[in-house]
Structure 1
Amino acid sequence: MNYSDLKHEANRIKKDFSIIEYFQGLVSAGALKYEGMQGKEHFFGFLSQRTGSIAVDHRTNVWYDHSAGRGGDVLEAVQVFENKTFAQSIEQLSDLPTERTVVPKNKHKAAPKIKIESVKKVSHPALVNYIRTRGLEPDEISDFAKEVHWGNKGKKYFAVGFPNESGGWVLRSSIFKGNILGGGISIQVLGTPDRTKIFEGWFDFLSYLKLSGATDFKAVILNSSVNLKLSLIMDVLAEFEVVDLYLDNDATGEKYTNFFMKAAQLYHYCRSNAISTDWDLNKLKGSHDKFGKLISTLKISSRDVVGIWSFQTEVTDQRYRYKGFEDLNEVLKPHVVTGNQNQIRQ
């Protein structure tokens, strides 16, 4: 890109790219932990911090690190947290979040300082109480959840832990949300699967098990919506035609649900019409309209495009089952009185 193009793209990214999603990506990658909301701001922090110092305002789409005395927009965040240049940060965020891989600044130096001290059955009163605030009992999730104790820079921590596919742990407690020793998705295979179910988080998956009693499916737990990359979608579609989506009832959940369903329509349209599904995703880098570029690359005529977006697949949006709730786990929380529990079935 020349300078004019860079400036134009930078302005578009600052306006359109969700800074909350970027920081959630850093959490998923194990670089930061999420502390929750204070007032109208989301707070994040490094694993070594007792209290997160990075305030993120989703309304103005800016961040500020109170301990370092610096902040800015999402492009400045990439430069600070990933050690990128201005041009590199633009190139990285020019991809949709579905294609972006977060590489935390100096992550390779921090990893050896984290040491797992014990992994055992959940028994600490604080963690038992936390699980109950999520509408579940420790014994109900004991096949999946562990009590993980770890040390980092001489300090001790513990949380409810769930394994992920990178060999790390997804950690949750009332005061901590993050990953250690690697981020990414988690996968669970139950019985003899005949379909895939996609969940945004572990507690959504566990809530579904309690509410439905379902077996015989493969669960893909994203741990962060930014992990729903096009490459993952293609892997899921190649394995099972039947896919149920259980994402959040918010703008982000809407975006990723629609992205998945459109990808499924194009993928199955190609399969039904003997068009290659061996897509070169590297060629999509920097493209704002990935499906448009794919359609052009695959030499699908413009008169046939309407057939793609009306193509029927067996990918379903299951959010209607918990309509009016932020996510599936919200249905189970003790303070919620609902009849929706009877709607959650296979």
Structure 2
Amino acid sequence: MTIDEIKSVSIVQYLESEGIYSVSYHKGNYWYISPFRTESSPSFNVSFIKNLWHDFGTGEGGNIINLVQKFHPTWNNHQVLSYIERKIAEHKLVCASDYKSQIKDYDEVKLSNVRTDVGDETHIDSIIELNHPYLKDYILKRCIDFEIARKYCNEIHYSIYGKHYYAIAFRNKDGGFEVRNKYCKRSIGRKSISIITPNGKSNKDCCIFEGFFDMLAYETIRKHKTNLQICIGQECDYIVLNSVNNVRILLQYLQNYDTIHCYMDNDSAGAKATTLIKSFYADKTTDESFRYASYKDINDVINGILK
């Protein structure tokens, strides 16, 4: 390969091949937590259009060759170029313009069955398999099994007034999403409940949770911490309110179940939601919050956060 061909290789794609992902995107610029030091705010920038990087912390920057030299300061030019050529072959790295086209094509396929225009200010850019390392770190810090999170959640990339963000996305029955990351807790699209059949078929029992992290915690406990006696023995459908205000939407769906297990938060709003459900289905509703009476919710149990 010529030097110009190597310089044209997408820096964003190269960084992804090294396990380094951006934390935000704005006007053709990807922003990263610097891979060269510890920091809380992103100061490392890659221009997608120019295919150049710049480290605002040190004032350094350049093309992909300069970047690999920065990662490996003891290497000579031959070692640097040989390494890049190996990365190109192993990870199918392409020039920046081709990589941008690949991303666009991939997003169009992923979004073909998804409503992307969800408001005057919000636009869904892509919905992909949950994989971003920062989102994984957030999930693990909440003591949730990551493979369980990947089973029930997606990774969403969205824009608000031209600024780009990413987060964990949990879909509801009306096609809207509950969106979470370390800094954000919001909804995109229509707010509603979520109904999950974990084993692929409807069950005659259901467990009701306020939020999807409680459901993920319940599944994590089933898989890893059976001694906690939080979970019931039989297979159940999972119903997530996504807000206690959605409890009235829920009521019509509960007539199909023989037993209803309420895993609401141990607070006044959770108690009111359980009371309302019992007022309609008293003969088949069980309040399971006694199982974690010393905690606000199930996720607090596996995090050891007492009330």
- Secondary structure of the structure 2 residue equivalent to 1:263: helix
1:226 to 228, 245, 253: 245
Sequence identity (%): 28
Partner residue of 1:120? 128
Amino acid across the alignment from 1:201? G
2:222 to 204, 212, 233: 212
Partner residue of 1:194? 204
Amino acid across the alignment from 1:168? G
Question: Once the 2 structures are TM-superposed, how far is the Cα of residue 166 of structure 1 from its aligned partner?
Answer: 1.3
Contact 2:204 2:256 in 1 (8 A): no
Question: Once the 2 structures are TM-superposed, how far is the Cα of residue 244 of structure 1 from its aligned partner?
Answer: 0.3
Contact 1:233 1:260 in 2 (8 A): yes
- Secondary structure of the structure 1 residue equivalent to 2:151: coil
Q: How far apart, CA to CA, are the structure 1 residues paired with 2:151 and 2:141?
A: 19
Q: How far apart, CA to CA, are the structure 1 residues paired with 2:126 and 2:206?
A: 32
- Secondary structure of the structure 2 residue equivalent to 1:171: strand
- Secondary structure of the structure 2 residue equivalent to 1:115: strand
Q: How far apart, CA to CA, are the structure 2 residues paired with 1:131 and 1:199?
A: 18
1:322 to 284, 292, 298: 292
1:161 to 140, 154, 169: 169
Question: Once the 2 structures are TM-superposed, how far is the Cα of residue 121 of structure 1 from its aligned partner?
Answer: 2.5
- CA deviation profile, 1:96-132 (whole Å, cap 9, x unmatched): xxxxxxxxxxxxx971542222222223232112111
After superposition, the Cα gap between the structure-2 partners of 1:177 and 1:215, relative to the gap in structure 1 and judged at 3 Å, is: farther
1:331 to 297, 301, 307: 301
TM-score, L = length of structure 2: 0.54
- CA deviation profile, 1:9-42 (whole Å, cap 9, x unmatched): xxxxxxxxxxxxxxxxxxxxxxxxxxxxxxxxxx
Contact 2:262 2:287 in 1 (8 A): yes
- Secondary structure of the structure 2 residue equivalent to 1:232: helix
Q: How far apart, CA to CA, are the structure 1 residues paired with 2:241 and 2:181?
A: 18
Q: Which runs of 5+ in 1 are unaligned?
A: 1-108, 266-312, 339-346
Partner residue of 1:244? 261
Q: Which runs of 5+ in 2 are unaligned?
A: 1-116, 224-232
Amino acid across the alignment from 1:325? Y
Contact 2:267 2:296 in 1 (8 A): yes
Contact 1:122 1:138 in 2 (8 A): no
Q: How far apart, CA to CA, are the structure 2 residues paired with 1:240 and 1:110?
A: 33
Contact 1:165 1:185 in 2 (8 A): yes
Question: Once the 2 structures are TM-superposed, how far is the Cα of residue 224 of structure 1 from its aligned partner?
Answer: 0.5
Segments of 4+ moved more than 4 angstroms: none
Aligned residues: 179
Amino acid across the alignment from 2:242? N
Matched, 1:138 2:138: no
Q: How far apart, CA to CA, are the structure 2 residues paired with 1:180 and 1:186?
A: 14
Q: How far apart, CA to CA, are the structure 2 residues paired with 1:157 and 1:136?
A: 22
Partner residue of 1:184? 192
After superposition, the Cα gap between the structure-2 partners of 1:211 and 1:181, relative to the gap in structure 1 and judged at 3 Å, is: same
After superposition, the Cα gap between the structure-2 partners of 1:194 and 1:130, relative to the gap in structure 1 and judged at 3 Å, is: same
Contact 1:190 1:215 in 2 (8 A): no
- Secondary structure of the structure 1 residue equivalent to 2:152: coil
- Secondary structure of the structure 2 residue equivalent to 1:228: helix
Q: How far apart, CA to CA, are the structure 2 residues paired with 1:113 and 1:179?
A: 13
Which moves more between the two structures, 185-194 or 247-256?
A: 185-194
TM-score, L = length of structure 1: 0.49
- Secondary structure of the structure 2 residue equivalent to 1:143: helix
- Secondary structure of the structure 2 residue equivalent to 1:332: helix
Contact 2:266 2:289 in 1 (8 A): yes
Partner residue of 2:48? none
Aligned alpha-carbon RMSD (Å):
2.1
1:203 to 213, 218, 238: 213
- Secondary structure of the structure 1 residue equivalent to 2:131: coil
- Secondary structure of the structure 2 residue equivalent to 1:325: coil
Which fold has the larger relative contact order, with Cα–Cα distance below 8 Å and residues 6 or more apart in sequence?
1
